[in-house]
Amino acid sequence: MTDGYLAFLRARDGEADLLRHTLSRREAFFDRLAREPVRARRAIDRETFLRNLARRRPEPGLDDRMLWLLATAKANQAERFGVGLSELYGKVNPDDPILVHIVLQEHYHTRILADAVAIFGLPVHARPPALAARVIVKLLVGTPERWNRPLAGCAEMAGCVIFRALRDRGVELFADEPRVATRIRLLYDEILGDEIGHVGYLAAVLGPAGRAVMRGLYRALGHRLAAQLPELVALFGRAELRRRFGAAFRLGEMAAELPGRAYAAATI
């Protein structure tokens, strides 16, 4: 099962260069975006965005568009923090091609989300995630891989739900500018395809017992991981997030929505 996933990764991502943090076909993807820039006509209050970007919790009274932009800017904080720690502690095995692709994909996710915010002429500054997220990330990095895979899988499942929700809300909020909405969908689909693949890969290597643990952790912790992003809670509301996380997690259907971008080595 993982052989098929590796073949998919090589075909989709191209050549992986861990030293330079590049995937050849992802670089080509960004080159194409640069040749076809999209800029929103809608004016966004830059000072309000930057002030709230530096806050742990958003100010009251922000509209949904501002909350979406802030959530987008912060959505990859935990994954970026985890990848940085993994590299710092030498946890990335350069001889494991699947792991190398996954790590490099996470680097691109930060860049993709920054590009989504840049549509509105806004910058993104890297910041560490909330305390609870940092604790979970350090637990993942500090324990043997065979032990932490169910928790990592739970986090990837939560990522699928979060990125899918942000994609759909962004398309809805900026539907009055079709080129902007289309670019938002394109960027989020690039991330979502990767997240689906990560869940499928972990499900494949865990086996039936590990997958059961992964599902249990997701049911217990999924919506709590989402709540670590206050902008997400303010945008959707706790009841809506619980509903989304309480719904059946259908990995195969998610992958089928993104042909050529997603590959699920196993279902969960």
- pLDDT averaged per 10 residues in sequence order, the chain, 268 residues: 93 94 96 96 95 94 98 83 64 85 92 96 81 71 77 93 97 98 98 97 94 95 91 96 95 96 94
CB 53 within 8 A of CB 62: no
Tell me, what's the pLDDT at 93? 79
CA distances from 69 to 180, 224, 227, 253 (A): 13, 21, 17, 27
Tell me, what's the pLDDT at 90? 59
Tell me, what's the pLDDT at 148? 85
Tell me, what's the pLDDT at 186? 98
pTM, two decimals, is 0.92
Tell me, what's the pLDDT at 143? 72
